[in-house]
Amino acid sequence: MIGSTMTLVAIPLIVLSVTRSPLALGVVSAAETAAVVVGMFLSGPLIDRVGPRRMAIWSSLLAGAVLAAIPITASLGEMEIWTLAVVGAAAALAASPGLTCRQMLLGAAATTAGVGQARAGSVYWIFPRLGMVIGGPLAVALLASLGNTAVIWLDVASFVISAALILGVAGARPSMSGQQASSSYMRDLAEGLQAVWSIRAVRLMTITAFVLSAFDAPRISVIAPVYLSRVGAPSTVLAWVVGIYTAGSLAGLVLYTLFLPRLSIRWVLAGCLTATGCAYLLLAAAPGIPAALIGMMLAGIAQGPFLPIMIQIVNENTVPHVRGRVLGAIMAAVSVALPLGNLTFGAALEAVPLWIALGATAAAYLGAAWPVARIASRSEDPKPELAPPAV
């Protein structure tokens, strides 16, 4: 995540240096986003066939190799907007299965290490956020001294290091038997989608994740800039808002990890969603810089535990031989929700006052608190017929 965050900072600078066009920047970003969705969705059958460990290694190595094309073409003076779009999309396509694979590997690693699945999941998600906190400032520091393409090379190296580290993870094997793997790819894909829809807890959690991701996506990219401009805040305050939200998210995960043995996930989810709704009510009721900082901190703390809990619920309600396809489909749905949320909120803020949009968002979170808690309560009930989590 340190390397990927550095690239996230460097790519827009490369695009603007080549084209000086905001539209080109949007094209490159859209291509990468679409590739992530496609990669997560279509890679599920391959993960279940070859195993998450092998797929994670190849995903990292292939993504690094493709990403290396950007500094190579730049050094040859052949950099064009289409090159950036194609290479960026191909790298995202190659890297996207790695996220699903690492979720599956985590279960095997936790079992081998004698660590609870819930605690392993919460600890795991601390580090991508920590990587974002480190990667952004590090990229700014290195861009000035090394240049844009050198930062991309560092990201290439991070993929290679990731693949090498995954070599040390044991215990994760292909979840399909030889007979299952002999079926067609499209049949495998359809079986994964059927599992997502037929298992009630997984279906409801997928819908919840999609809807809440659509509401989450505009928080930093749309809502915060518009909110701060409406209250007359200096542009530098946006950096503080982004930083305090990220720090809050990290703190929420740490707190969840520390107090996990004493907590019921149904009450954690209900509390997280309620607190997020209250944060938006604060923004709507008391507009100003203090409300922005406090509200974003509260939202970050509340949102921290949600993703590891969601994945835990999915793992506990999904049999191993379809787990790669189920997780891939869910992560793809979440990725689709992100651009849809940004687009919807951007259009909404053109048509309605800001406080109405904030109030509607608060109502969505508050209204989801109890139904989502009920989903979690059913997932906590004993399920002797289900296979153990990710092996």
Mean pLDDT value of segment 358-372: 86
Enter the DSSP assignment of 171.
S
Looking at residue 133, its amino acid is V
| Domain presence at residue 59 | yes
pLDDT computed for residue 384 by the predictor = 36
Please state, rounded to an integer, the average pLDDT across all residues of the chain: 80
| Domain presence at residue 387 | no
Report the CATH number that the domain containing residue 14 is assigned in CATH.
1.20.1250
| Domain presence at residue 124 | yes
Residues 198 and 331 in one domain: yes
Both tokens of 303, joined, read 């949102």
Residues 137 and 197 in one domain: no
Domain housing 149: 2-168
72 CB contacts (<8 Å, ≥6 apart)? none
280 CB contacts (<8 Å, ≥6 apart)? 295, 299, 358, 359, 361, 362, 365
Distance CA 45, CA 297 (A): 39
Model pLDDT for residues 81-124, shown as the tens digit of each residue? 788 888 888 998 999 888 888 888 887 788 788 877 777 877 88
Residues 162 and 210 in one domain: no
Please identify, among 168, 184, 216, the residue that sits at the C-terminal boundary of a domain.
168
| Domain presence at residue 98 | yes
Residues 234 and 116 in one domain: no
Nearest alpha-carbon partner for 60 in 94, 10, 100: 94
Nearest alpha-carbon partner for 82 in 162, 132, 24: 24
Residues 29 and 158 in one domain: yes
Count of CB atoms within 10 A of residue 300's CB?
Answer: 26
Q: Is the pLDDT assigned to residue 380 strictly greater than 70?
A: no
173 and 101 Cβ atoms separated by less than 8 Å: no
- Band (386; pLDDT cuts 50, 70, 90): very low
Residues 344 and 274 in one domain: yes
Q: Is the pLDDT assigned to residue 390 strictly greater than 60?
A: no
Please identify, among 153, 168, 183, the residue that sits at the C-terminal boundary of a domain.
168
Number of domains in the chain: 2
Residues 336 and 207 in one domain: yes
Both tokens of 254, joined, read 């740490």
Residues 228 and 328 in one domain: yes
Model pLDDT for residues 40-70, shown as the tens digit of each residue? 888 888 888 888 888 999 999 999 999 999 8
Report the CATH number that the domain containing residue 293 is assigned in CATH.
1.20.1250.20
% of the chain with per-residue pLDDT over 90 = 11
3-state helix vs strand vs coil in the chain, percent to 5: 85, 0, 15
Distances (CA, A) of 4 to 58, 136, 185: 17, 10, 30
Residues 112 and 67 in one domain: yes
SS3 (DSSP) at 184: coil
Model pLDDT for residues 271-283, shown as the tens digit of each residue? 889 999 999 999 8
Residues 205 and 68 in one domain: no
| Domain presence at residue 348 | yes
| Domain presence at residue 256 | yes
Both tokens of 106, joined, read 């985590």
Residues 374 and 307 in one domain: yes
Residues 163 and 196 in one domain: no
1 and 125 Cβ atoms separated by less than 8 Å: no
